[in-house]
A and B are shown apart, each in its own frame.
Chain A
Amino acid sequence: MSSATSHRAVPAPQKLRESVKQKSALPWLTLPALFFFVVFAVLPLIGVLALSFANWDGIGAIGVAGMENWTSVLSDPELYNSLGLTFMIMIVSWLVQTPISLLLGVFTAGTQRYRAALAVLYFLPLLLSSAAVAIAYKALLDPNFGLAMGLGLPFLAQDWLGVPQLALGLIIFVIAWQFVPFHTLIYQGGVRQIPKSLYEAAQIDGAGTIKQFFHITLPQLKYTIITSSTLMVVGSLTYFDLIFVLTGGGPGNSTRILALDMYLRGFRANLMGPASVIAVILVVIGLALALFLQRLGGKDQQGSQLEGM
């Protein structure tokens, strides 16, 4: 450890010796966390790649499959349906959630008391599990005993879970309902960190609210937008619980996103090999998106931005 420690710029030699002696125990402190993380996160990550080349029904022995799983999955139109749906939900969700969260974040960052109170209430959906949210929405959408009748809005009385387009729209809405509060919170924090002096200067220059928003607030929130978008986009790969309970992938395969496709292939059809192929694709997409979004933040900012997450 001493050679590594000496990289640190320490002014006095005596201090160096002391710090070497004192801090040599520090690396040990990371071992328990590293152990858990490597065994139950990194190892499975390697394992999923290995399993994508294997034959396994989830119970019996594991055999070698070679490229078989990959060729069969890559030539399966179901994969492209799932990929398309996953990206569609990701993009539409981003387009819906980002402006709403940003505006609500700016709004709740204000100093008035009632805005803070609103922010407390916005947080409520985050307390519910996705399973609970999905179950509640099934009841809410009952055409006879749900919101449509209660609010006197007949257009809400649709067969939400029976028509593909409606089911997709519903999923995007429920996802927004559940996650906008979290991103609002992120933007609220971001807005509060913008130096007040920028707004004062803009006012002296005669810039109005809308100008201030587009020329100060938005640019200043650049990294907040990237953080929030990263969480949103990478998170959208994993809207498994909600869709599983709400639609189960249906009607037909119209809401069968990648994560659900993986689960159904693996744990319903007992084809762990092909399911692992889907899982590898999920990981690759997730990493690629995360890297891409970090790049948007600029190279020199990458490190500090990751730290800021």
Chain B
Amino acid sequence: MSTVLKSDSKPGTPASATSSIKAKQSLGTRIRRLNIPGGLGGWIWLAVIIIPVYYIVITSLKTSEGYFGQNPMALPTSPTLENYQLVLESNFSTYFMNSVIVTLGSVIPTVLIAFMAAFAIVRGHGRYLKFVNGVFLMGLAIPLQATIIPIYLMIIRLNLYDSLLAIMLPSIAFAIPLTVLILSNFIRDVPNELFESMRLDGCSEWQTMWRLALPLTKPAIVTVAIYNGLHVWNGFLLPLVLTQSPGLRVLPLGLWTFQGEFSVNIPAVLASVVLSTLPILVIYVLGRRQLVSGLTAGFSK
């Protein structure tokens, strides 16, 4: 190996003396040495992320005098919640409820039917199930944007235009492929002996699915639920094209129109940004561990 690697400039690390600490130390050395570019990059990127977030939050707490008078990065001298009050008084709660309905109404059916499909694909055999799996895999490459015109046409023909259901139906369809994929990866990891013992106990596949596979894939279900929820909650194009009434706006659309109406009141606009992100932040804080471990397991194989 060393001859192959000879051309590089950096001197090698001497092998550690005793094998018992070798494993630990080798990891340690690796990390310590990467600290220089990696650590620098890591902290720089943190600044890149945090500075805008900091600006958004402090500005949303400023009065308009503070916004126009103070240094933009300074903490507000007299923090106020009046911007938040203004946002809450201007239909924000309607947008919020619409987003909740659309998100739950999309995520719950998606996870339920995708779980059933994933269970069948993993547990069953035969050409039909292989074909279904292939269809879903192909679906991963279909961009939602490209199908928006026929979706718009179908929604009009189904008399669903300008309704929350119109947003949910395509949201479910486009969330299915990835959800099936991630869930089937997890169901595949359930030891076969467990399925066998369920079978020997006389359980049907239906019972096995709910009593064995569902509890064992709970972490994956939380992952895909949060991931899909994030997508639907933040979705912009479907609501933009498929709804029209102000009373049916979801949050991203509400933010956009709010920004148009209150373009001079930047602190209020940023308060609406913070408010729209707050529920997702709470869910992220609660489910972060599962979301992150589930996503890395799902994508990094």
A interface vs B, CB < 8 Å? Answer: 1, 4-5, 7-8, 22-23, 25-30, 32-34, 36-48, 50-51, 56, 58, 100, 103-104, 106-108, 110-112, 115, 118-132, 135-140, 142, 145-147, 149-151, 177, 180-181, 185-190, 192-193, 196, 199-215, 223-224, 227-228, 231, 234, 237-238, 240-241, 244-245, 259, 262-263, 266-267, 272, 275-276, 279-280, 282-283, 286-287, 290, 306-309
Contact = CB atoms under 8 A, between A and B. Distances in A.
A51 B276 CA distance: 36
B93 interface: no
B130 to A, nearest CB: 9
Interface centre among A5, A56, A137, A206 (most CB of B within 10 A): A206
Nearest to B283: A127
B33 interface: yes
Main secondary structure of the interface of B (DSSP, over half): helix
A134 B236 CA distance: 12
Interface in B3-38: 4-5, 8-16, 22-23, 26-27, 29-31, 33-34, 37-38
A244 B147 CA distance: 18
A27 B123 CA distance: 10
Given A36-B169, A37-B173, A120-B288, A51 B144 contact: no
B164 interface: no
A37 B55 contact: no
Contacts of A283: 142-143, 146
B146 A199 contact: no
Interface of B: 1-2, 4-5, 8-16, 22-23, 26-27, 29-31, 33-34, 37-39, 41-43, 45-46, 48-53, 55-56, 59, 67-68, 71-74, 109, 113-114, 116-117, 119-121, 123-129, 132, 135-137, 139-154, 169-170, 172-174, 176-177, 180-181, 185, 199, 204-206, 209, 230, 233-237, 241, 251-253, 255-256, 259, 266, 269-270, 273, 276-277, 280-281, 284, 288, 292, 295-301
Contacts of B68: 145
Given A106-B38, A146-B72, A47 B154 contact: yes
Given A200-B22, A205-B12, 10 more contacts: A23-B123, A29-B116, A33-B117, A47-B154, A106-B34, A131-B253, A135-B255, A201-B1, A207-B2, A245-B256
Contacts of A287: 141
A122 B143 contact: no
Given A40-B170, A147-B55, A199-B30, A207 B12 contact: yes
Contacts of A44: 147, 150-151, 154, 170
Contact of B52 (A177, A188, A238): A177
Given A108-B42, A145-B67, A209-B13, A140 B55 contact: yes
B224 to A, nearest CB: 13
Contact of B152 (A58, A147, A215): A58
Given A112-B31, A215-B5, A275 B149 contact: yes
Given A30-B129, A234-B143, A186 B72 contact: no
Contacts of A28: 120
A205 B116 contact: no
Contacts of A45: 142, 146-147, 150
B45 to A, nearest CB: 6
A262 B45 contact: no
B125 A25 contact: no
